[in-house]
A and B are shown apart, each in its own frame.
Chain A
Amino acid sequence: MGIEFGMEQVWVLPAIPAALFVVLALLNPLLPRRGDFLAAFGMAAVVGLVFLVLADYTSVFKDGHFSPGGTNVYSFDWVNIGQGFFTIEFSTYADGITMVMLPVVTIVALMVIVYSIGYMHGEARYGWYFAALCLFVAAMLTLVIAGNLIQLYLAWEGVGLASYLLIGFYWERQSAAEAAKKAFITTRVGDVGLLIGIILLWRATGTFDIQSILAAAQSGAIGDKYLTVSLLFLFAGAAGKSAQFPLHVWLPDAMEGPTPVSALIHAATMVVAGVYLVARFSPAYAEALVARDVVLYIGLITAMMAASMGLVTSDIKRVLAYSTVSQLGFMFVALGMGAVTAAMFHLFTHAFFKALLFLGSGSVIHATHHQEVENLGGLRRKMPFTASVFAVGSLALAGIPIFAGFWSKDEILHAALNDAPVAVYVLLTGTAMLTAIYTTRLVLLTFFGAPRDRHAFDHAHESPLIMNAPLAVLAVLATVAGFFAFDQVGQALGFPGGIAANVFLEQAHHFTEPDYAFAGMATLVSLLGIGVGWAYWHGDARRAVAARGWAPDLHALLVNRYYLDNLYQGIINRVVLGAGSVIAWFDKRVVNETGVDGGAQTVSYLGYRLKFLQTGRIPNYAFGMAVGVLVLALVAIGNS
């Protein structure tokens, strides 16, 4: 074999989409079809390379040559100030967590790009759309292989930028421009925390290298309280990016972007960056249990809140957005209990079924040009394929056995029962039931019942093959992704110890000691949720309307998103703009008018006064010179 490709060359993965971004952005008008197939083939190549990396990872592990902690490929000193006082290395790091992220990011990205070729057909700025997607993938891959906090932070901002560009893709629309700003600014609030956390950790350890920091944290070289505070700041960044309470408000608005973008960035990849970050620092979080508890309870609050808001939202994409926020909450709950395996497993399965759901909703929007459930209904007769893959995704989300979501959600619930107060388990199970209810509601209102908008229904049609093919692939993955953790699957594919042990670092409980009673309970809860949803929303929407009358206050609370958006807007209007106007006054009056303009005006006024000394008459000047000479002479005489 000629060129070896494996863990050492993992830096090539983000380099390919980065190069694609440059080519697509600069040479766009010259490329055939504006470069959409170029992007797709480039991404397919990256997927292929990811599998080479995966094979290398498992084979190296099998030979027993390296510890399962991963491999840190040191590349070069990027910045070096004061002989090692301040050093930033450029390094890549790949371990089990990275090995979960790489296929998730690249496979979903490939599916989304292929799907977009159909979905975005005929849109303005078609080429730029693919360029921005490539930019996003490059940043996201850099993020998951970063061995260094500064690299991670750069990539972190990079995905934020790509997200901003793509949410605001239809920037002619006021709401899209506002949503892009909201997403960027809200995540920015968290990012400041992340930066503070990075600086704090650097101050304590003198390095940005993640593994060195983790080693220092485990050896107790960082004080307990100091570590807790640093990790809380890191979690602020994670909460912003992963849309956790109280910074979750941007994600539903981010649905203003094109639907495939929502599938890639706001469901499968970018929003799990926070989960990735906390998972990456999980050894440190294990040393600071207060910080870990904060992660747990923030995750729990988010999961419950978002699921309840998903119940009343009428925009099909927003329902999915709340569902994403809620599922991310599940992941953080798992991380908060130290169940990194469960969190990463759920991240893995969630990426596939949620991308499937988003792309399915994209097909609906593409076919009907509506995304409010009031205008949908009965579409299963017009779009049978979309309806069936959407149903697969919904079953996975609701947690019905054999579908991917069941295995990972069960893993989290199991950890909750064992490692957390019983209230956490009860609330999580309740949230899982809410999930099943709103999922059922969404499916019923979209695909079942009588069409509520006859015109849209008549125009609806099944999507072209280029959109359906990615849906089919994702539907298969949403069904089987849960099996990857099985020992037997790993054995069959030739990895002794199973993929679970290799990739997820520790065995998922499910696949070592199946707990049928427990799994049966969880299934029952999900089925109950589906039953409740069916009882309410099948047939027509009258019962749903009646539910509003049953608890109008609660309904208003949910529809208004717990009034958090109003609260934030109020704070911005009163406090931020108030403080801003004081500062603006100071800047305008004191700094500008007194300082800058004042100085200039003084000089100008003096010049105006003094210019009259210049008479233009030679005798005056001569007189001045004579007086000057006299004075100098007198001074000279006086001094001698």
Chain B
Amino acid sequence: MIPLENFLVLSGLLFAVGLFGVLSRRSAILILMSVELMLAAVAINFIAFASYRDVEAFSGLVFALFVITVAAAEVGLALGIVLRLFRERRTANVDEASSLKW
């Protein structure tokens, strides 16, 4: 059996890649994709712990399903926002969307 640590390292790396993407990209679409990576890392964590701690308990698996569902909904919403932003500003660059300040 593959040891738990491997899954955790994989999920950690995936999360770090996602976080780096969120912080470094300028394009809203790429940021959304990075967020998806982070969510996937979390889902992997859930499933790994679920199967290693107690096979009979489904709560970890159910959480993973929830994460996927919520991620789908969030992407649907966020893409709508990005679309509006593009219509308004003719760009999807988040640096341009900085009017919410003093």
Contacts and interface: CB of A to CB of B under 8 A. Distances in A.
Given A622-B22, A622-B23, A617 B102 contact: no
A622 B20 CA distance: 10
B55 interface: no
Interface in B1-58: 19, 22-24, 26, 31
B102 A614 contact: yes
Contacts of B23: 619, 622-623, 626
Contacts of B31: 618
B94 A617 contact: yes
Interface residues of B, number: 14
Nearest to B96: A617
A612 B97 CA distance: 17
Given A622-B22, A623-B23, A626-B19, A615 B94 contact: no
A32 interface: no
Contacts of A618: 31, 94, 97
Contact of B98 (A612, A617, A623): A617
**What is the size category of the interface that chain A forms with chain B?**
10 to 19
A612 B102 contact: yes
A616 B19 contact: no
B72 to A, nearest CB: 21
A626 B19 CA distance: 8
Given A619-B23, A623-B23, A611 B94 contact: no
A627 B87 CA distance: 32
A612 to B, nearest CB: 7
Interface in B50-102: 94-95, 97-102
Contacts of A622: 22-23
Contacts of A611: 102
A622 B99 CA distance: 16
Contacts of B100: 616
Contact of A614 (B22, B95, B101): B101
B27 to A, nearest CB: 11
Interface string A72-111: 0000000000000000000000000000000000000000
Interface string A602-640: 000000000110111111001100100000000000000
Contacts of B94: 617-619
A623 B26 CA distance: 13
Contacts of B102: 611-612, 614
Contacts of B26: 619
A339 B31 CA distance: 104
Nearest to B95: A617
Nearest to B24: A619
B98 A615 contact: yes
Contacts of A623: 23
B5 to A, nearest CB: 16
A616 B98 contact: yes
Contacts of A626: 19, 22-23
A338 B99 CA distance: 89
A615 B95 CA distance: 10
A629 to B, nearest CB: 9
Contacts of A612: 102
A610 to B, nearest CB: 10
A234 B31 CA distance: 86
Contacts of B95: 617, 619
B34 to A, nearest CB: 10
Nearest to A629: B19
Contacts of A614: 101-102
A618 B95 CA distance: 7
A626 B16 CA distance: 11
Give 5 closest A-B pairs by Cβ, nearest first.
A616-B101, A616-B98, A611-B102, A614-B101, A618-B94
27 contacts: A611-B102, A612-B102, A614-B101, A614-B102, A615-B98, A615-B101, A616-B97, A616-B98, A616-B99, A616-B100, A616-B101, A617-B94, A617-B95, A617-B98, A618-B31, A618-B94, A618-B97, A619-B22, A619-B23, A619-B24, A619-B26, A619-B95, A622-B22, A622-B23, A623-B23, A626-B22, A626-B23
